[in-house]
A and B are shown apart, each in its own frame.
Chain A
Amino acid sequence: MNEALSAALALFLDPSRLSMMLLGVAVGLVVGVLPGMGGIVSVAILLPFITRLDPAASLAMITGSLAVVHTSDTITSVLIGAPGSAAAVPTMIEGHPLARQGQAARALSAAYAASLVGGLIGALGLTLSIPIARPLVLSFGSPELFMLTVLGVSYAGSLLGKEARRGILAGLLGLLLGAVGPAPAAAEVRFAFDQVYLTDGLDLAIVALGLFGVAEVVGLLARGGAVAETTDLGRGWLQGLRDVVQHRWLVLRGALIGMWAGVLPALGATAGTLMAYGHVVSSSRDRSRFGKGDIRGIIAPEAANNAVEAGDLIPTLLFSVPGSAPTAIILGALLAYGIVPGPRIVTDHLDLVYTIVWSFAAANFIGAGIMFAASPVLARAASVPFDRLAPAVLLAMVLASYQETRHFGDILTLLALGLVGYAMKVTGWPRAPMLIGFVLAGPLERYYFLTINLYQHPTDWLLRPGVVVLAALLVAPFAWGAVRAVRERAAGRPPAAAARPGFRPVTLFSLLVLAVFAAAALVAREFLPGAALMPLSVAAVGAVLAAAQLAQELRGRAGFTVDDEGDAALTRPEALRRAAWLLAGLCGYAGSIWLVGMRAASGVWVLGFLLGVARVRPTAALLYTAAALAGAEVLSRVLGVRLPPGALLR
């Protein structure tokens, strides 16, 4: 083993390998900055190089870009509130408020320090677990994977905020959204309404971008001004580092959760990050700052999402089953070189395995290190008036969405979810549970059906040791929460203040939610039994809860605690009016993309926005527009995306 390690080190100190790894890191970092792009995109860009390099160099390159997949996506999440990837959503939820409070540097440096350590823990875990990984992974059968996804969903419970009912409803909406597309266990396509685009279901990146990215951008524009109104944003850089040291056990726990999420086929990077986030919230005694900028809500998820990619490598290398889309490409590359993943890879190609591990660790270190050092500088972007940044950010999000399927449906989905996300933001409905529901809907249903069909008697699987342990983990927080609630009631805590009864505009949203569940239930009745179970039960429970919510709101018993002070500002009439115009403008933008194509539409809208809303001088506006369009052109060439030509011109 020692010579394998030293062989890897020698390979690694070879300048051509090193430079390929650094190329991978560079591509991964640059691509990751753009909201919605990362991972699969950066690896796809590097694909053409694979056939021209030797195995060790190309593996170093791809692993390099894989390792930093979740490193640079933190930037837009914190500074702009547009999640760089779905896995960056918790960082956005906690980091963006921190940026608004002038602590962007602290948020970024904490995120990168946690990422760095998390990634290194992941690499270490990868090395140590290679000998024992096979039996460990095989011991997780369908029942254990099912319990694990239930556990993941339950962590959403800790993200419900003060009003459990709306959080649960948001989670159920997410489950319903996740049910669009092919049913896992029955040959039926659900909720596609004859649209070919929907037959694959909705894309996670677009859902996250719309629900969180577009909504945040509109919110920032509606509020006006810059992201952070205070000066001296470089402050806090060292504080972030201190935070990570202070919460070092959280880093470890986050990294372990992330690694497991990667190793097991059921979960992925987003699920792992959300679970780490849910874990840190549920295990904290003081939850008051979560959602308003709690540094712990950055540290755990960031450690998790760098460790996830290390975990993903285990099933890829040891079982020839890719753990994620980027690792699927690694698998393809290995096969193209005639290197067969599986139990033999440890004996036949140990040196390449260690090349991958070392590349991963080094890339993590270098990538996070670069980002960490750049945090004070990057944080200054928070002081730029946001309407100068907004057009470029929106254009990037539209482009990122479009390259998912290269279909206009991508843009429509982004817009629709942006509208929903904004409505939820303004009415105080929590969105994080919705994302969890969406991410875990597929695995939850899949492993449920696999479990009950492969194990014909419940006792066959309910009594398995893994299941029992996971069930205990599942029940424990609820039991503890119930005990605590009883104690609180005994101590005589006053109930929440009653609000005014009657119909408010906000109640419209609850009515809409009820309508969605009712409609879904009606449609789901027509599905095949194996496909109907999940959507029907979700819609039924959802309809009942939504009706209760509506009733409580009309009676004035429901409290409307909007979490973020910033969000409260959004409910003022002038902010709402601005937001309405902005959203109408977005619809117009999307419509014009369809009519005249992306280039023409973007040119018109960016220019119009800069002149009309941002009140920029004409020459500057023209330069900006030209630069933005040129950037979009370069990006689309590099990604191999043809920008939509437009119906009129076709």
Chain B
Amino acid sequence: MKRATVLLVLGLLLLAPPGARAQQPYYAGKTIELIVPFGPGGGTDIEARFMAPYFEKHIPGNPRFVIRNMPGGGSILGANWFAQNAKPDGLTLLATSGSTIIPYILGVSQVRYDFAKWKLVKVNGVGGVVYVSPRTGITKAADILRPQVPLVYGGISAVGLDLTTLLLFEVLGMNVRVVMGFEGRGPARLAFERGETTIDYQTTPAYLTQVVPLIREGKAVAVMSMGFVNDRGQMVRDPAAPDLPTPYEVYQTLHNRKPDGLLRWKAYQAAVAASFSYQKAFWAPEGTPDEALRALREAIDRMKRDPAFRQEAQKILEGYEVFRGDQGEAAVHRSMRITLDVKKYIVDLVTGKYSARL
């Protein structure tokens, strides 16, 4: 009797289809290539390199995860290449940042990619803080419309990440002289320290490490954060600067009503969401098999539970949460789909007041 059972079991095992016996994870023995459309050493690149070993560890099958830099055109070249060449097999992914999103939203002619066609793997954001020189006499947000010296802001380009700041000035009705031409936010911060500009913003990592010491020395005053748009489309306080008011709150303080429904508010919120709250994303091309996407997204969950990742994430992600693609995809796509009236408002502002050519 026992021998018959054993033979039966053996026979069934032999007859069973090979796949059912041992399911190989999708990514076993494979290599994932992440295209970073920026040069090495930049924020997007460093974050990607920091996350790479955790992807290797937590994606079932432990594929290799390598970075390939493709700089050019402010990330447009790399994104274009990805849109045209990436095979939908889950082995090629793209890392994007705010400078990939803004030209897309503005409809710049060199953009040949469409975020709507891509599948989100992960997204995390960054915040910003606006601060002023003590010479302006501003001590709290309510004072920003009445500075004692003119507000002078140093920017890089009206069609880059500064766009969000410009929209902030518009929404609050601030009178700011904008001087474009700085090479980056770093040099712009130096200009503030030298006294050449009187208002500046920095992303929260730079704010916390470089500006807070200035504030302690009495050389700068923090006024407000840029605000953070959550997945329900509401503006909430920035988790890295929770004691600073958001522009939503500042508007209420200044004008005694909520800004919802105002065209310029919709424009500002769209810009903050797309270029800050959902700034750093990894994408897979349209048609990537569900199995691959699942593996990638589950790796994010595992990563977040990994104590080693959590410890290092504090330095790289500055306490902002990483969202898996399926959790964030709807919100991210929504944030990029700005309505025609908002787009027209933004384009008119950029080409009119700031004389840009798109």
State the A residues within 8 Å of B (CB). Answer: 40, 43-44, 47-48, 50-51, 137-139, 141-142, 182, 184-189, 194, 196-197, 199-200, 265, 319-322, 325, 328-329, 331-333, 335-338, 340, 342-344, 405-407, 446, 449-450, 453-455, 528-530, 640
Q: Which residues of B contact A450 (CB under 8 A)?
A: 154, 179, 181-182, 191, 196
Q: Which residues of A contact B206 (CB under 8 A)?
A: 320
Q: A187-B356, A265-B183, A407-B77 are in contact. Are A340 and B41 (CB under 8 A)?
A: no
Are B73's CB and A199's CB within 8 A? yes
Q: A325-B39, A449-B181, A640-B69 are in contact. Are A51 and B50 (CB under 8 A)?
A: yes
Q: Which residues of B contact A319 (CB under 8 A)?
A: 186, 190, 210
Interface size on B, residues (CB 8 A): 58
Shortest distance between the CB of B197 and any CB in chain A (Å): 7
20 further A-B contacts with Cβ under 8 Å, apart from A325-B39, A335-B315, A446-B181, are A40-B40, A43-B40, A44-B40, A139-B194, A187-B180, A187-B356, A189-B357, A197-B72, A265-B183, A319-B210, A321-B190, A322-B41, A328-B39, A331-B41, A332-B42, A337-B315, A338-B314, A450-B196, A453-B179, A640-B68
Are B45's CB and A332's CB within 8 A? yes
Are A51's CB and B49's CB within 8 A? yes
Are B41's CB and A325's CB within 8 A? yes
- Among all A-B residue pairs, the 4 with the closest Cβ atoms: A187-B356, A321-B186, A329-B41, A185-B181
C-alpha gap A320/B180 in the complex (Å): 21
| Chain B 95-125 interface 0/1 with A at a Cβ cutoff of 8 Å (1 = within) | 0000000000000011000000000000000
Q: A319-B186, A336-B50 are in contact. Are A187 and B39 (CB under 8 A)?
A: no
Q: Which of B71, B159, B196 contacts A141 (CB 8 A)?
A: B196
Among A139, A333, A406, find the residue whose CB has the most chain B CB atoms closer than 10 A: A406
Are A187's CB and B70's CB within 8 A? no
Shortest distance between the CB of B206 and any CB in chain A (Å): 7
Among B41, B50, B77, B210, find the residue whose CB has the most chain A CB atoms closer than 10 A: B41
C-alpha gap A24/B180 in the complex (Å): 38
Q: Which residues of B contact A197 (CB under 8 A)?
A: 72-73, 77
C-alpha gap A640/B36 in the complex (Å): 12
Q: Does B158 contact A (CB under 8 A)?
A: yes
Are A47's CB and B49's CB within 8 A? yes
Q: Which of B43-66 contact A (CB under 8 A)?
A: 43, 45-46, 49-50, 52-53, 66
Are A338's CB and B315's CB within 8 A? yes
Closest to B71 in A: A405
Q: A187-B157, A199-B110, A343-B213 are in contact. Are A454 and B179 (CB under 8 A)?
A: yes
Shortest distance between the CB of B210 and any CB in chain A (Å): 5
Are A454's CB and B183's CB within 8 A? no
Closest to A445 in B: B181
Q: Does B152 contact A (CB under 8 A)?
A: yes
C-alpha gap A325/B53 in the complex (Å): 24
Are A142's CB and B72's CB within 8 A? no
Q: Which residues of B contact A40 (CB under 8 A)?
A: 39-40
C-alpha gap A320/B43 in the complex (Å): 13
Q: Does B289 contact A (CB under 8 A)?
A: no
Are A138's CB and B194's CB within 8 A? yes
Are A328's CB and B73's CB within 8 A? no
Shortest distance between the CB of B316 and any CB in chain A (Å): 6
Are B73's CB and A446's CB within 8 A? no
Are A454's CB and B355's CB within 8 A? no
Q: A340-B209, A342-B213 are in contact. Are A187 and B73 (CB under 8 A)?
A: no
Q: Which of B40, B77, B354 contacts A405 (CB 8 A)?
A: B77
14 contacts between A and B (CB under 8 A): A44-B40, A51-B50, A196-B80, A200-B72, A200-B73, A321-B190, A325-B39, A328-B41, A329-B41, A332-B41, A335-B205, A450-B181, A453-B181, A528-B357
Shortest distance between the CB of A184 and any CB in chain B (Å): 5
Shortest distance between the CB of A113 and any CB in chain B (Å): 32
Are A332's CB and B196's CB within 8 A? no
| Chain B 147-175 interface 0/1 with A at a Cβ cutoff of 8 Å (1 = within) | 00000101001110000000000000000
Q: Which residues of A contact B319 (CB under 8 A)?
A: none
Q: A265-B190, A340-B209 are in contact. Are A184 and B77 (CB under 8 A)?
A: no
Closest to B85 in A: A650
Closest to A529 in B: B355
Q: Does B193 contact A (CB under 8 A)?
A: yes
Shortest distance between the CB of B84 and any CB in chain A (Å): 11
C-alpha gap A622/B340 in the complex (Å): 62
Q: Does B74 contact A (CB under 8 A)?
A: yes
Q: Does B296 contact A (CB under 8 A)?
A: no
Q: Does B242 contact A (CB under 8 A)?
A: no
C-alpha gap A335/B357 in the complex (Å): 35
Are A322's CB and B186's CB within 8 A? yes
Shortest distance between the CB of B318 and any CB in chain A (Å): 10
Closest to A406 in B: B70
Shortest distance between the CB of B102 and any CB in chain A (Å): 11
C-alpha gap A200/B152 in the complex (Å): 28
C-alpha gap A476/B70 in the complex (Å): 46
| Chain B 77-89 interface 0/1 with A at a Cβ cutoff of 8 Å (1 = within) | 1001000000000
Q: Which residues of A contact B213 (CB under 8 A)?
A: 342-344
Are B209's CB and A47's CB within 8 A? no
Are A336's CB and B72's CB within 8 A? no
Q: Which residues of B contact A182 (CB under 8 A)?
A: 157
Shortest distance between the CB of B196 and any CB in chain A (Å): 5
Closest to A45 in B: B40
Q: Does B76 contact A (CB under 8 A)?
A: yes
